[in-house]
Every structure is written in C-alpha cells, then in structure tokens.
Structure 1
Amino acid sequence: MSASDLGDAATGGERGHARSAVARLLERVPAREDLAAAAARLAAGAVEQRGDAASAFVFRLGEEWLGLTTALVDEVLELRPVHRLPHRHDAALRGLVNVRGRLTVCVALPALLQTGPAPAVRGGARRLVVLAAPEGALAFEADEVHGSLRYPLDDVRAVPSTVAHAVARFATGVLPWGERRVGLLDADLLLHALDRRIS
C-alpha cells in the first residue's frame, strides 16, 4: 500500500469517526436541565417577539440607579466644561455645554430628584448624557452610565415607600437588576418639570 493510500485510509477513518461522533450526539437523549435551558431561551425570545419587553437607558445619580426610555437618549459623551448663565440661580439649571458645536442646556437632575451626593468612584466614570427632548436637546451629568437594558414588562414592580420622595414622584416603577434596583422614570413628567424650572 502506498503512502497516499495510507493517507486516504487515515482520512476515511477520521471521517468515519467524526460521523459516528455526530451520530452519537444526535441520538443522545437531552438531559432535563438542557431541555429546561432551551425552553427558557425560547420563552425569552418569545417575550421579545410579543413586544412584552421594554428598553431603558440605565445610569446612576448619587446612590440611585435610574432608567429613562432608551429612545430619549441621543448620545453619551465625555464631560466637558459647563458655562454658567448669569442671573440664573435655579439649582436645576447647570448652564450651557458645547455639544458638537451647538450650545445645549445642561440640567442638574440630582437637584430635581434630590438623589444626594455621589459616592467616591474611580476616575472617569462620570459622563454627559444628551437627551433628544421634543422642545430641544438637553444634557445632564451622570455619575455612572450602564447603557441600554432590555427587560420584560412583568419584571417591573411598584415603587416602594422607601424610595426617596422626589424620585418616587417621577418614577413609574422599580426594576430589579441583580442586587440593585433601577427606578424607571416617567420621561414626559421629568421633561415637563425641567421645562418649568429652566424656562
């Protein structure tokens, strides 16, 4: 037998071995845990297909994790200088910030929501969040940004009495998120309150 014949025989053996491994895999009866995991994945996909899910942009102000509808958020940027407006002393108005060459009103959400001071965190965690508000772009400084979080609507819980009063006023519900809770904010109510404070 030539070297090429030996090579062909070896390749054929490998193919046969591979086919038998595939056949064994296909003939294997799935474990109960595998079936349960597959069912959970299908159920999660079904939730998204039914539209029983929503998406929130999650960020932190002080000790509070909060969420706004993702569609409202235009972009997240590095912090930049905020230019205070003379003769305007409302705590909810930080001033003006340059966003891609356009002066944008920068608001202070902690002053409106009374979330308190931010705990000490590693440098560079704070971000400027730009909102595509109907009356014009608004920006605010977040102490930390997680980004978009998709969740089933059934996971949303009622706002507990332990939530800070100012946050509770604007919250539509609370979303469990690992060991944290995210206060889901009513975007229309929040924007209306900001418009009244800064106009």
Structure 2
Amino acid sequence: MSKQSVSQEKPIGDCWNRIGVWGDSRERCPKLAETGHCRNCHVYSYAGRRLLERPIEDVDREEWTVTFASPPDKKETTIHSAFIFRAGGEWLGLPARLIQEVVDMGKIHSLPHRDNTVLRGLVNIRGKLEICFSIGAVLGIDRFEKPVIKKRYISPERLVVVASKDQRIVFPVSEVFGTYRYAEGMLQQLPITVSGSKAAFSKGILCVNDFEVGFLNEKILFDTMMRHL
C-alpha cells in the first residue's frame, strides 16, 4: 500500500472506545450482540491492520535511525547469585552454583587418630559418607559468638554440601539465609582494617539488607580444607 493511497483513506475510527466494550456511552454497538467483544469484530481487526501498514513518517524514521545507531549508554550488567549463611557470628557467602544441597544437621562421626579442629569427621548424606570440615575453624570464627543481626526466626543449624570441580566437601553452618542475587558492582573491596584469615579467604564484602557478608574465595577455601586430609 503506497503512502498516497493511505493518505486518501478515511481516518481510522475508534468506535470501540465510544460505543464498544471500552466506551462509556449509553449507546452500544449492535455488532456486540453477535461478536461478544470488539476484539472479535472485523472493524477492530481492520483498524489494527491499517495502523500496522501506515508508512513511517520522515521525522520518526530519522529519530529511530539516531536511536538505534547510537551506542548503548551503559554496559549490560552481569548478575551473580550468592549463597549466604552464618557461621558463628559471621555472615559468609559462596557462589550459589557450588551448592549441591542443604540438609538437616546430622551426627558427625570423628575419625580415629585425627586431632585437628578443621577436619570434623564423616557425615552421612543420603546414604553416602562425606568428609565434614569446620569452616569456622578455617576462618578463625568463634562458634559461640552472638549473631550479628537479630530477627524473630532463626533457622536451625544445617549441613551444606559444596562441590567445586572434582572436590566435594560438607560443613555445618549456624544459619542459612538463602540465595541472594547481586550485580557485579555491588561486591565491595575489603576495608584495609580487615586482616588475617578473613582477608586471606575473602573476595570482598556484600551488603545484604542491614548486615555485611564476607564473600569467600572458594579456591583458597577448598585448597585449605584439602590440606587437612
């Protein structure tokens, strides 16, 4: 359909907004008794086709050309997922993709001739014995330290199963917060006042709600735990 032929046609009416289902006039379209709704009427369909077939105005064409030719203002934001939990009085996080499952706290069977605080022993996870470590001992966290936030409900202790490449470990946690999605720029650098184990094992700090989460470096964490086998 040419621009000239379109311009010679009658203006597109909007009877559906006047006497149709979207109108507030007392007069009602007689076709409604047959169609039940304006969307089922050929007049409504024809008007829609005419709108789609209208040629693009020169002003609109120029505006769209500039818009689509311009580079985006901002780079696409990368979104990550963190699994957040509490060990003693510290809130910690790991990449959510490493978390295999979270199960109820079970009995930890100590290993004979193994006397260290990092290697706790063995736990039964769905019929399979898994090595259990103490993440608090690795990071030097006081188990009996008070939580950093207060809330009405605190989840019970859990066992978290984590896997990275061909390594699989289990460690108990005091509380599970859950999964938290964050943009790449939300991970803040560690303050210069942080030192020792916390600095060595952390990639940065995430501010979640009203508390800070130490985001852990999973490679260093796994390597340290494996050295205690």
Q: 2:199 aligns with which of 161, 168, 181?
A: 168
Residue 92 of structure 1 aligns with an amino acid whose one-letter code is V
The Cα shift of 1:71 comes to 1.0
Judge conservation of contact 1:62–1:110 (CA < 8 Å) in 2: yes
**Are 2:127 and 1:101 aligned?**
yes
- C-alpha deviation, 1:14, in angstroms: 8.8
Check if 1:187 corresponds to 2:218: yes
Q: Is the 8 A contact 1:107 1:139 kept in 2?
A: yes
Per-residue deviation, 1:13: 10
Q: Report what 2:84 is aligned to.
A: 58
1:77 aligned residue (84, 103, 120): 103
How many angstroms apart in 1 are the aligned matches of 2:195 and 2:143? 14
Correspondence for 2:6? none
Partner SS for 2:164: coil
Q: Hey, what's the Cα distance between the residues in 1 that align with 2:24 and 2:161? A: 58
Q: How many angstroms apart in 1 are the aligned matches of 2:155 and 2:180?
A: 22
Which segments of 5 or more consecutive residues in structure 1 lack a partner in the other structure? 1-11, 19-46
Q: Aligned-residue CA RMSD in angstroms?
A: 2.6
Runs of 4+ in 1 over 3 A off after TM superposition: 12-18, 120-124, 161-164
TM-score computed with the length of structure 2 as normaliser:
0.62
Counterparts of residues 136-155 of structure 1 (less than 5 Å)? 136-155=167-186
Kindly provide the amino acid, as one letter, of the partner of residue 179 in structure 1: D
Q: 1:123/1:71 Cα in 2 relative to 1: closer, same or farther (>3 Å)?
A: closer
Quote the offset at 1:112 in angstroms: 0.4
Give 1:51 shift: 5.1
Higher RCO (CA 8 Å, separation ≥ 6 residues): 1
Greater Rg by CA: 2
Structure 1 equivalent of residue 43 of structure 2: none
Aligned AA for 2:169? L
Change (3 A) 1:177 1:168: same
- For the residues of structure 2 that align with 1:124 and 1:59, how far apart are their CA atoms? 10
TM-score, structure 1 normalization? 0.71
Q: Is the 8 A contact 2:155 2:176 kept in 1?
A: no
Give unmatched runs, 5+ long, in structure 2: 1-18, 26-73
Alpha-carbon distance change, 164 to 66 in structure 1, aligned in 2, over 3 angstroms = farther
The alpha carbon displacement at 1:166 in A equals 1.0
**How far apart, CA to CA, are the structure 2 residues paired with 1:195 and 1:143?**
22
Contact 2:162 2:168 in 1 (8 A): yes
* Identity over aligned pairs, percent: 36
Give yes or no for the alignment of 1:113 onto 2:144.
Answer: no
Larger mean Cα displacement after TM superposition, 73-82 or 173-182: 173-182
**Which string of whole-angstrom CA distances, capped at 9 and with x for unpartnered residues, describes residues 59-93 of structure 1?**
11111111101111100010010100000012100
Write out aligned runs for 1:87-98 (5 A). 87-98=113-124
Between Structure 1 and Structure 2, the one with more helix by share is 1
For these two proteins, the number of residue pairs brought into alignment is 159
For the structure 1 residues 14 and 134, does the alpha-carbon distance in structure 2 shift closer, same or farther, using more than 3 Å as the test? closer
